[in-house]
Amino acid sequence: MIEPLKDYSRLCVHTMTTKPWTLEEALSGYSEAEISAITVWRQHIEPYGAKKAAKLIEKSGLKVVSLCRGGFFPATSGQDREKARNENRRAIDEAAAIGAPLLVLVCGAVPGIDLAVARQQILDGIAAVEPHAKACGVRLGIEPLHPMYAGDRSAINTLEQANNLVIALDSDWVGITVDVYHLWWDPFLRAEIGRCQGKIFSFHVCDWRTPTRDMLNDRGMMGDGCIPIRDIRGWVEKAGFDGPIEVEIFSDDFWAQDQNRLLSRIKSAYLRHV
Amino acid sequence: MIEPLKDYSRLCVHTMTTKPWTLEEALSGYSEAEISAITVWRQHIEPYGAKKAAKLIEKSGLKVVSLCRGGFFPATSGQDREKARNENRRAIDEAAAIGAPLLVLVCGAVPGIDLAVARQQILDGIAAVEPHAKACGVRLGIEPLHPMYAGDRSAINTLEQANNLVIALDSDWVGITVDVYHLWWDPFLRAEIGRCQGKIFSFHVCDWRTPTRDMLNDRGMMGDGCIPIRDIRGWVEKAGFDGPIEVEIFSDDFWAQDQNRLLSRIKSAYLRHV
């Protein structure tokens, strides 16, 4: 039996979970809700620029867990692949600017590029930007995405693949982001989390609704779906991870609701189901 | 390079592909389109009963490739699991009645039943109905379903799992149904198809649209998506399969169109992309 969490010391919320809020609203809303950590999406930085966003975050006192997201390495031309790498270098700079120790990578996929080719381009792309990440002191978290996104978002669809990438890249600056939404179905999940020893850089939670009405924006609140979140947390902790637990929920339903109330629901679901 | 198909001798269409048609309409529509094989869904038999359906099919001269579908073994009570097994025995009887040599299994999943438990219940369920399948001369095809259906349709989500089940069950009457829609994303697909030697009982094709607008009924026509269908056919043939190639497309779009025209599109896409 995994012990329930007893307090909110490890709780972190993604700005995408409260998408309707600006960065400033999120910072003050999380603070009021006594949530002490935040993962920032680049779109929430954009209206301010990294410098001003960094100041706002510093003033709020919230801890930045990661910046979402880099990646999207595959492209049909070498020129476009180089563009993608430069965009990742900019994202690394942004992470460093706002004090995020980690950039999460959604690796990318392009209809028309064979998955095996895309996978090689992803490996090459991460290898190409790793020196900049190291120079900036920003770690890279490879986040395997659910196979339903293999067509256009990520050709890295299982933890086994991500683990193999991490081994191939062999860098202290490259590890794994485990998201229960993407990985819960995998029959070898427990074994592959076991293989991550020391390489889990971040951990995302939400739930899988049945039925899921939309492939992108119908994620569930923890406890409202069928993911054994607490079991997975136990496996992740056994693999050496004791860092923040990040609530990342894309949901048209929740975005339409009062975001302060949403934070209360998150806090209650967090203790009960994570 | 895989040689294109030269004729329609291996083409088979599922009654669900032309869902608006009754069985009689499908039989005459396929015949008119010079499609010589059919896979029948149980819902298209139901209005007639198996006996009358068998007569209609016999009269049409079409070859029946398989009956879709059995499975759905997991349940929370022993009584409900026994119900599910009996339903599978009835499906096997139906297959035998209409001259289908194969019953395709969508193995089942139930929100609230842990996937590991569901997987054991599936193994036990197939083992329990296998003697009846053997007695009736009907083979069972385990069809791994896309991981996006792990919540409520099937806890068997990769070909590796299905292959392991087939080995565990060790029966001439139990094999694999390969559907490109469910499996195309798998980084180990080619290797796992290679492991199927002689055990592929049937082969389904369609395509994966990007974006996919609906998780159930937005499958694409071959060539309209990103699945390397011809490559996968090559792997399947290398694993010893030279049977019918079944077009199974669930699509609200196509169902709203003229079904005779749909068959023409299928025939043209079949030679060009399969």
Nearest of A114, B168, B153 to residue B179 by alpha carbon = B153
What DSSP string runs through A59-103?
Answer: HHTPEEEEEEEEE----SSHHHHHHHHHHHHHHHHHHHHHT-SEE
What is residue B67's predicted lDDT score, i.e. its pLDDT? 98
- Cβ contact, residue pair A151, B228, below 8 Å: no
Size of interface A-B (CB pairs under 8 A): 75
Give residue B20's pLDDT: 98
Helix (H, G, I), strand (E, B) or coil at B142: strand
Q: What is the pLDDT of residue A1?
A: 82
What pLDDT was estimated at residue A186?
98
| Interchain pair A158, B187: CB under 8 A | yes
Shortest Cα distance, chain A CAs vs residue B7, angstroms: 26
How many whole angstroms separate alpha carbon A145 and alpha carbon A241?
A: 20
Q: What is the pLDDT of residue B227?
A: 98
Q: Where are the beta strands (DSSP E) in A7-52?
A: 11-14, 37-41
**Domain edges within chain B:** 12-273
Q: Which residues of A touch B152 (CB under 8 A)?
A: 210-211
Average pLDDT, chain A: 98
User: What does the DSSP assignment read for B235-262?
Assistant: HHHHTT--S-EEE---BHHHHTS-HHHH
pLDDT-based confidence at A62, cuts 50/70/90?
very high
Residue A89 has pLDDT above 90, yes or no: yes
Specify the DSSP class assigned to residue B30: H
Structure token digits, residue B230: 């011809």
Q: Is residue B136 pLDDT above 90, yes or no?
A: yes
Of the candidates B71, B147, B64, the one whose C-alpha atom is nearest the C-alpha of residue B106 is B71
Region A10-35: what's the mean pLDDT?
A: 98
| Position A138 pLDDT exceeds 90 | yes
Place of tokens 């256009």: A152
Q: Residue B209 corresponds to which tokens in the numbers above?
A: 């649209």
Q: Which of A117, A145, A148, A183 to mutate to test the interface with B (most CBs of B within 10 A)?
A: A148
Residues B89-113 have pLDDT tens digits of 999 999 999 999 999 999 999 999 9
Phi, psi dihedral angles at B25 (to 5 degrees): -65, -40
Candidates B148, B187, B208; nearest CB to A146: B148
Nearest-5° angle of CA B8, CA B9, CA B11?
60
DSSP B66-112: EEEEEE----SSHHHHHHHHHHHHHHHHHHHHHT-SEEEEE-B--TT
In the predicted structure, residue B151 carries a pLDDT above the cut 90 = yes
The model's pTM: 0.97
User: If you classify domain A11-273 with CATH, what class do you get?
Assistant: alpha beta
Confidence at residue B1, expressed as pLDDT on a 0 to 100 scale: 82
Per-residue pLDDT band at A256 (split at 50, 70, 90): very high
Asked whether the bond before A244 is cis by omega within 30 degrees of 0, the reply is: no
Residue of A nearest to B228 (CA): A114
CATH of domain B12-273: 3.20.20.150
Residue A152 has pLDDT above 90, yes or no: yes
- In the predicted structure, residue B251 carries a pLDDT above the cut 90: yes
Look at B147 and A150 and tell me if their CB atoms are within 8 Å. no
CA distance A5 to chain B (A): 22
